[in-house]
DNA sequence: ACTAGGTCCTGGTTGC
DNA sequence: TGCAACCAGGACCTAG
């Protein structure tokens, strides 16, 4: 379920714990959770002995954790993945898929109920996108300078896709998922079903600014649902609690008090305010 | 080339 | 209470 803000929050937290930690061994409890090398035994063997460095990069929703020796571990949490930092003797979480015990007695755990998430081992000298296919197809980072209204205009020209679907396309911009897409569209006053080709320059500029704004707000609040894995209790992020439209079907809009509606777009639930996000003209 | 839809997997929630 | 249907924040693959 994590989107860019949750993954960025995770990156910053891992930066506190992982650098200098030596991998003492790896236990793959579910082989589907390892993307490369396909053989879990090889994955484990190549991970063992690696020492985490402080080079940790995020691209969209992907995470790259580099080792001192030059190899790296790639991570994608997809819908339900979590990385947990625990003492090795702490009770195992129900859906733990991979255990990575450290020489220090701590342990990095990959927990993932739905088994959509993946870990990859990227060998020294191999470009990460060779191993993690999705990386190569990612669009610009939302905080990159080139991501602006004009970029969107260029990408949207002559296309009919609903704007909500376009935002979920990682090739357009990397890191936006269902929650932040809905929030960004509300913030920019754009109806999620509008075809992208019909949006004028002003609307596209509002959209670009809204995407940046909601993602920055999400990071500032430590993500929507990410639990604080350093805390045995687990602390939920609070963005979802302050959402303007996401998950608020039937509740009054915080701006105009119209009832928030939910429709299905691109196969995903989509929330919007029928008044603030007028299908015809721009609002706000 | 573009777009919609199915699919991977598991568990929580909802409704009868 | 029991059970089935539906729902879930991602991304890949296929087909039209």
- What would the mean pLDDT of A18-35 be, rounded to a whole number? 96
Say if residue A206 carries a ligand binding annotation.
Answer: no
Phi, psi of A263 (to 5 degrees): -130, 175
Does any strand C atom come closer than 7 Å to the Cβ of A168? yes
Residue A37: is the preceding peptide bond cis (ω within 30°)?
yes
| Cα(A46)–Cα(A266) distance, integer angstroms | 39
pLDDT in tens, A190-223: 999 999 999 999 999 999 999 999 999 999 888 7
Structure confidence at residue A240 (pLDDT): 52
State in words which class domain A149-272 has.
mainly alpha
Structure confidence at residue A233 (pLDDT): 35
Measured in angstroms, what separates residue A199's CA from nucleotide C9's C1'? 26
Chain B nucleotides covered by protein, CB below 7 Å: 2-11
| Cα(A275)–Cα(A201) distance, integer angstroms | 21
Structure confidence at residue A138 (pLDDT): 94
What pLDDT band is residue A283 in, cutting at 50, 70 and 90? very low
What pLDDT band is residue A182 in, cutting at 50, 70 and 90? very high
Give catalytic residue positions of A.
Answer: 2-3, 61, 268
Does any strand B atom come closer than 7 Å to the Cβ of A267? yes
**Domain positions in chain A:** 4-136, 149-272
Query: Which nucleotide, over all strands, has the C1' atom closest to the CA of A262?
Result: C7
Domains A4-136 and A149-272 share a fold: no
Chain C nucleotides covered by protein, CB below 7 Å: 7-13
| Cα(A47)–Cα(A72) distance, integer angstroms | 9
pLDDT in tens, A101-122: 999 999 999 999 999 999 999 9
Q: Going by C-beta distance under 8 Å and a sequence separation of 6 or more, which residues neighbour residue A199? A: A152, A156, A163, A190, A207
Q: Going by C-beta distance under 8 Å and a sequence separation of 6 or more, which residues neighbour residue A46? A: A37, A71, A121, A123
Tell whether the torsion through CA atoms of A276, A151, A176 and A210 is positive or negative: negative
Q: Say which CATH topology domain A4-136 has.
A: N-terminal domain of MutM-like DNA repair proteins (3.20.190)
Does any strand C atom come closer than 7 Å to the Cβ of A61? yes
Measured in angstroms, what separates residue A160's CA from nucleotide B3's C1'? 9
What pLDDT band is residue A236 in, cutting at 50, 70 and 90? very low
* pLDDT at residue A273 tops 60: yes
Does any strand C atom come closer than 7 Å to the Cβ of A240? yes
Average pLDDT, chain A: 90
């Amino acid at each position: 379920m994590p989107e860019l803000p949750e993954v960025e929050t995770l990156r910053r937290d891992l930066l506190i714990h992982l650098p200098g930690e030596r991998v003492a061994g790896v236990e793959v409890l579910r082989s589907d959770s390892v993307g490369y090398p396909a053989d879990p035994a090889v994955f484990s063997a190549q991970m063992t002995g690696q020492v985490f460095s402080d080079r940790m990069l995020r691209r969209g929703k992907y995470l790259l954790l580099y080792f001192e020796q030059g190899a790296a571990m790639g991570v994608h949490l997809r819908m339900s993945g979590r990385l947990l930092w625990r003492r090795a003797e702490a009770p195992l979480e129900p859906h733990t898929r991979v255990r990575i015990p450290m020489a220090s007695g701590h342990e990095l755990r990959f927990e993932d109920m739905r088994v959509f998430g993946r870990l990859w081992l990227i060998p020294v000298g191999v470009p990460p996108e060779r191993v993690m296919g999705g990386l190569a197809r990612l669009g610009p980072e939302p905080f990159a300078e080139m991501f602006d209204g004009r970029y969107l205009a260029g990408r949207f020209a002559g296309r009919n896709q609903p704007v909500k679907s376009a935002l979920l396309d990682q090739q357009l911009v990397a890191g936006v998922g269902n929650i932040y897409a809905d929030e960004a569209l509300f913030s920019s006053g754009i109806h999620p079903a509008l075809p992208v080709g019909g949006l004028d320059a002003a609307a596209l500029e509002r959209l670009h600014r809204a995407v940046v704004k909601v993602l920055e707000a999400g990071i500032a609040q430590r993500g929507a649902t990410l639990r604080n894995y350093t805390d045995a209790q687990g602390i939920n992020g609070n963005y979802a609690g302050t959402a303007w439209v996401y998950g608020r079907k039937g509740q009054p809009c915080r701006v105009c008090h119209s009832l928030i509606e939910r429709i299905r777009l691109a196969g995903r639930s989509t929330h919007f305010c029928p008044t603030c996000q007028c299908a015809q003209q721009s609002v706000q």
